[in-house]
Amino acid sequence: MTQVDFYLVHHRQRESFVCRLVQKAFALGNDVFVHTSSQADAHHIDDLLWTFQQGSFVPHEIVTQATPLSDACPVLLGYGAEPQGKRSVLVNMDNEVPVFFSRFERVLEVLGDDDTQRAAARTRYSFYRDRGYPLEYHKVSA
């Protein structure tokens, strides 16, 4: 069954924390899919993965419904396409639960501490809880 982890971070640190999570998951040998709300969000995370930490390298690419998904790339960023193939970690940056979440071993939900993100996260938390998924909650400080 899919393990779901919620991470509460300061809203200004959300994207950099996502990059650190992706880097850690990649370093542990996981294939990662980062699900964003839009093309702009995917491109923003793409840019950050190149610059968030000097000396780090996280091989990644953006995929859409129009582009084939590459099994060779360990980290994929998407906003409209359901990932194909086997991926072990889903980082959800959307306000909705992706319909394909249960195909992953782990789902990482990263939310900022603003009211809008917290309200959406409560809804997602209830969704997972009501269906019996194991949940963990982590409050991350700087």
What is the secondary structure of 31-51 as a DSSP string?
-EEEE-SSHHHHHHHHHHHHH
Counting as low any pLDDT under 50, the low residues of the chain are none
**Angstrom distance (rounded) from CA 88 to CA 32:** 6
Give the pLDDT confidence score for residue 71 in this predicted structure: 64
CB contact at 8 A, 111 and 96: no
The SS3 of residue 60 is: strand
All domains of the chain in start order, with CATH: 12-63+71-109+116-139 (3.40.50.10110)
Give the pLDDT confidence score for residue 141 in this predicted structure: 81
Continuous segment of H or E residues that includes residue 15: helix 14-27
pLDDT by residue (tens digit) across 92-106? 999 999 999 999 999
